[in-house]
Every structure is written in C-alpha cells, then in structure tokens.
Amino acid sequence: MNDPTARGDLALTTYRDAPTRMVSAAGADFAYRELGPDTGVPVILLTHLAAVLDNWDPRVVDGIAARHRVIAFDNRGVGASTGSTPATIEAMAADAVAFIRALRFDRVDLLGFSMGGMVAQVIAHDEPHLVRKLILAGTGPAGGEGITRVTRLSHLDTVRGLLTLQDPKQFLFFTRTAAGRRAGKAFLGRLKERTDDRDKRLSPLSYAAQLRAIHRWGKQQPMDLSVIQQPALIANGESDRMVPTNNSVDLADRLPHSDLKIYPDAGHGGIFQYHEEFVGAVLEFLAR
C-alpha cells in the first residue's frame, strides 16, 4: 500500500491528473485521490449512488482544492477498493471513518453528495469530534420524503438512457429544460477529461447493495439532528427528482447551524450545474 504520509507537492495537481493511491483500513484496501495544499483541515468527499472516483466533477474538486486539501475515495467494494459493499448507510459511515483515521486525520470537513450526504450525517452524529464542518448536497435525512423511490427512479431512468442512447445522469441529475440539458452535457463531458488511470466501474452487486442502503435510510425513523452542532452548508437544485428538494429545506430547519442554497432550474446535480457558484459558497463557508 502507498504510504499515506508521502503526499508530495499536492498543490500543483488537478483532479484530472491526481494519482490513485491505496491505503488499508478495517480489512479493506481503499482507493483514493488527493490534491490541494498539504496543510489544514482536509475536505473528505463522500459520493453518490453508483459513483466511483471518476464521477466527481473536476471543476468542483479543483475549485475547492485551490485553497483546501481535498480527498476523494471509493468506499468498500466500490471501484478499485476491495471488500463487499455495505447495504446500510451506517456501515458505509463506519468505513469512511476507518479510512479517515488510516490517513491519520483527527479533524476533517465532510462534503457529502446524495448518498454521501446521508453517510456524512451519520459520521457527524456518531463521531462529533472528528467533523469540523458539513457540506450536504442533494441529500436528505433518514426517513426523508421520497427517498424510498430512488430505486424505482434509478431503474426507470437507466432504461430511459438506454433507449435514447444517453447517460442516465442526464435525466436523474438535470432538468429537461434547455439549460438543464446543456448543463448535463457539459457535466458529462467534464467527467471524461481524465483519460489515464481511470477507476474501475461499479459492479452490479455493489449497485444493488447501495440501493438497499438508500431504501433502508428512507424507511428509518428520523434522527435527532439537533445534536449535530457543526456548521452545515446545504445545497440542492430546486427540482430534485431523486431526493426531493423539500429534504434540503428539512435539513436546514433541523440542523441548528445551517445555511441553505437552492439553485434555480436545476435538479439533483445542481451543484454541478452551478459549479462556480457552489465552489464560491463552499470556500466562503469553510473560511468562516
């Protein structure tokens, strides 16, 4: 395994060119990429359903990494990481904590998108001393409105993508307006900028386990979010079909120290459609 302390000059790296490293933790080998200044509290990226390292928007990662150390990783059984993918959000959170501690960090900021935002909530709730600040995008609380419908929507839009020869994320992440279509095509183009050392694709078994985890999250009793005292930035598009936008409003109402950003004419992938505005909001939030 690579030595997690041997990071070199990260400041000159872009996400397109960041090397894929491995670190062992909790019986698995976790694949990760790191860039940005080699100082300060790192921002750990927790990603969405069916995503591997190559699914992070390089404009978002590079924008944040201009001022902060940023680390993206594949959870257990995802992409190049070994092991079997957990079927609960809580187990994913435990793996994320093990990964963070394997890199010898005792304080982090978390940016969780969609499923990753659910994982981030559990980490902040269960490991409050580990988390400094939370950024929750396109996500919702346990038992949140419409979360149990993610499986059905994902299957329907996967078929829709196959029938129209398009990536399902064009439908799942973006609105069907002219602006939404353009934003989706631009986002999908950015995901292809990295041509070397690309990650392994998610296996069908891992995808099924993630869907079960999200469905269980949607059926759970609500957590007491009032105990999460960390500052939180919450962001979403105004027309999120996957995790309805009302969940973002609910999170903002229930987290004691939160800011809410809702982007117009945008869906689940609003932070990618409005990547410049989102990066600006994140940098301002982290600098407070």
pLDDT of residue 154: 92
Residue 62 lies in a domain: yes
Q: Is residue 1 part of a domain?
A: no
In a domain, 58, yes or no: yes
142 within a domain of the structure (yes/no): yes
Say if 281 falls within a structural domain.
Answer: yes
**What integer pLDDT is reported at residue 5 of this predicted model?**
44
Residue 52 within any structural domain of the chain = yes
For residue 177, what pLDDT is reported?
A: 97
Domain of 193, CATH number, reads 3.40.50.1820
- Residues 6 or more apart whose CB falls under 8 angstroms from that of 221 comprise 142, 143
pLDDT in tens, 87-100: 999 999 999 999 99
Can you list the positions of beta strands (E) in 64-195? 70-73, 108-113, 131-137
Q: What is the mean pLDDT of residues 100-128?
A: 98
If you average pLDDT over residues 133-140, what whole number do you get? 98
Residue 21's pLDDT is what? 97
Average pLDDT, the chain: 95
pLDDT per residue as tens digits for the range 22-80:
999 999 999 999 999 989 999 999 999 999 999 999 999 999 999 999 999 999 999 99
Mean local confidence (pLDDT), 171-192 = 97
* 211-225 mean pLDDT: 96
For position 10, what pLDDT does the model report?
A: 58
Cβ atoms of 235 and 271 closer than 8 Å: yes
What is the model's pLDDT at position 9? 54
Query: What value does the mean pLDDT take over residues 221-227?
Result: 95
> What is the residue-wise DSSP string for 124-140?
HHH-TTTEEEEEEES--
In-domain check, residue 68: yes
Distance CA 133, CA 68 (A): 13
| Nearest in space to 183 (alpha carbons), one of 242, 243, 270 | 270
Answer whether residue 4 is part of any domain.
no
**Can you give the residue range of the structural domain that contains 26?**
10-287
For residue 14, CA distances in Å to 29, 37, 100 come to 23, 12, 21
127-140 mean pLDDT: 98
Count structural domains, the chain.
1
- pLDDT tens digits, 146-176: 999 999 999 988 898 888 989 999 999 999 9
> Which pLDDT value is given to residue 13?
82
Query: How confident is the model at residue 12, as a pLDDT?
Result: 63
